[in-house]
Structure formats: C-alpha cells, structure tokens
Structure 1
C-alpha cells in the first residue's frame, strides 16, 4: 500500500506587480503551513519523498510544514507541478520510484483538488482551501495509478 498526501500551498499574499510564481505566504499562511505539518504528524505521516512546485508559496509551505513534520525529508522541486492539470500530476505520480511508500505532493489549485477528486472518483468534492491536505491510500503501484485508485483516509483544512 502506498500513501499520497496532496497539500495545497497555504494562503499567499497578493502583491501588485509581483509575478505569480514569486508570491510569498502571508503570516496566516505560515501559521497554517505549520499547523498542516502538525496535523500530518499527528496522523503518523512520515514522507519518503516530497515533490513540490518551485513557486515561492509552495516552497515556503514545504519549509514550514516539514519543519514540524519531518525536517530531514527529501524535497524535489518539480517545475511541472506549477500550473499543472490533474493529468500532468498523475503523470508525475507514475514516475515516482516504486520504493517510495509515502509521497507528499505540494501544489496549486485547481490541479491538486482535481487530482484528489480523480484519484478517489468523487465528482462533487468539498472545497480545497489554501493550506488544506488530503491523505489517500492506494494498493496500485505508482507506475499504474489512475482514476479511482485512491481512497481518502483523512482530510484537513486550516479551519479544522
């Protein structure tokens, strides 16, 4: 069984003139990222690998969440996650080393939310607010993962 944690970046600032990719977390976003790390730790999540969009807000989400969850976790920054469609994210999952048991993916909406819906087969899923995560389990090898292959076993949002 493999575990996939899909984490949406925490709340980001809107700064006029700053490119979207460079938007940082707000102070609330920093707190929410730390709380997400704590919520994952309480659930016993121990990432073998973290794949993260290279945007500033996702990098900062990873930094603050992992400082609480697993400071020694390996993080790979994947440019393909930024502005990715769900199919792009599934392709990324399929390239995951089969030895990885627990994978954390940190990205952006709508892609990450649609990924969760596709993997679980849920079409009218609740909102996936900034800083939210879903924990999915699958019995399918990463190389073959696809629609309906995931079971959501936990969900958390900053307002929980």
Structure 2
C-alpha cells in the first residue's frame, strides 16, 4: 500500500513587499502553525522515503518550520512544476514518482492540492472528505493511501486516512477573526 501525504505551505506574509509571488515568505503565525504540524507528525511517527516540494520561498520556509517541530531531516526534491500546479499536473508528477517510494510527502499550493485531494478521494458519507470540501487551510496535511503503483493512481482511487489542520492542534492557529 502506498501513502501520499499532501502538505499545503503555511500562511505567508502578504505585507512583505516582494516583487514576485514566488518570493513571499511565511508570516509568524505560519511558522508557528508549521512547527505545530511538525510536532504532531512526530507524535504520529509519520515517516517519508521521498519528498517533493515546490521551490517557492514560502514552501522552503514551511519545511524548515516543519523540521523544527518534527525533529527529523527532510530532503526534498525541489520541483518547479509543483509551484501553483493544477491537480492534473500534480497527478502527472505523482505518476512519475519512484516506484520504490512507499511514503511520499508532496508540499505545495492551493487550489491544486485541494483539487487533487478531492479528485483522488471518492465522495463518502464520512466527514473527513467533507472537511476538505469545506476548506484546505494553510499548513494542513492530508494523508491518502491506495493499493498499486504510482502510475496507477487514478481519480477516486485513494482513501483519505488523515486530515490535520493547525487549528485542530491549537485553536489560536485557526482563522483570524
């Protein structure tokens, strides 16, 4: 059984005066949220044998904060195609993953990650998929599992096994309001 974990980058700083979206850094709340998610990943003993990430600044900073909480090193393959990718592009990338990889972490952006999760997980009566339909917040992790190889993953072919939002770990990391 293969496991695909989708991680949306943490909250970025819109107040920074960067000339390109690609260069936007995390804000303080985003760093706290990513560290909290990293600590939770450690408590669940999640492990990955392959990591693919967008090279955007906010993704790199998210991974740095995740590692600070996780306590394990992650060595991502920086893949430009993940930056602002559609669900279809992300699925193409997944089909190209090394067959020997059993537990993959894919770190990127919305709406692509949310659309990918909704594409891969069939509608069901349980509330887990419904949480994704409601919103896939920043620094949120979705874990999907499926039988077969990476090239065989098709729409509706995965099971959503976890959906972890920062606000589930610490209410102060929820939406501002």
TM interval, shorter chain, is over 0.9
State the secondary structure of the residue aligned to 1:149. Answer: coil
Number of aligned positions between the proteins? 160
Alpha carbons 1:13, 1:24 under 8 Å: kept: yes
**Which structure is larger by alpha-carbon Rg, 1 or 2?**
2
Q: TM-score, normalized by length of structure 1?
A: 0.94
Task: Give the C-alpha shift of residue 17 in structure 1.
Answer: 4.5
Residue of structure 2 equivalent to 1:90:
91
Task: Give the C-alpha shift of residue 87 in structure 1.
Answer: 0.5
Question: Within the alignment, does 1:26 sit opposite 2:23 as a pair?
Answer: no
Task: Give the C-alpha shift of residue 126 in structure 1.
Answer: 2.2
**Higher mean Cα deviation, 53-62 or 16-25?**
16-25
Q: TM-score, normalized by length of structure 2?
A: 0.85
Question: Within the alignment, does 1:128 sit opposite 2:129 as a pair?
Answer: no
Question: Within the alignment, does 1:116 sit opposite 2:108 as a pair?
Answer: no
Residue of structure 1 equivalent to 2:8:
8
Alpha carbons 1:94, 1:145 under 8 Å: kept: yes
Structure 1: gaps (5+ residues): none
Residues 5-154 of structure 1: matches in 2 within 5 Å? 5-14=5-14, 15-69=16-70, 71-122=72-123, 125-154=133-162
State the secondary structure of the residue aligned to 2:31. Answer: helix
RMSD: 1.5
Residue of structure 2 equivalent to 1:159:
167
CA distance in structure 1 between the aligned counterparts of 2:145 and 2:18, rounded to whole angstroms: 41
Task: Give the C-alpha shift of residue 133 in structure 1.
Answer: 1.0
CA distance in structure 1 between the aligned counterparts of 2:3 and 2:71, rounded to whole angstroms: 16
More helix by proportion, 1 or 2? 2
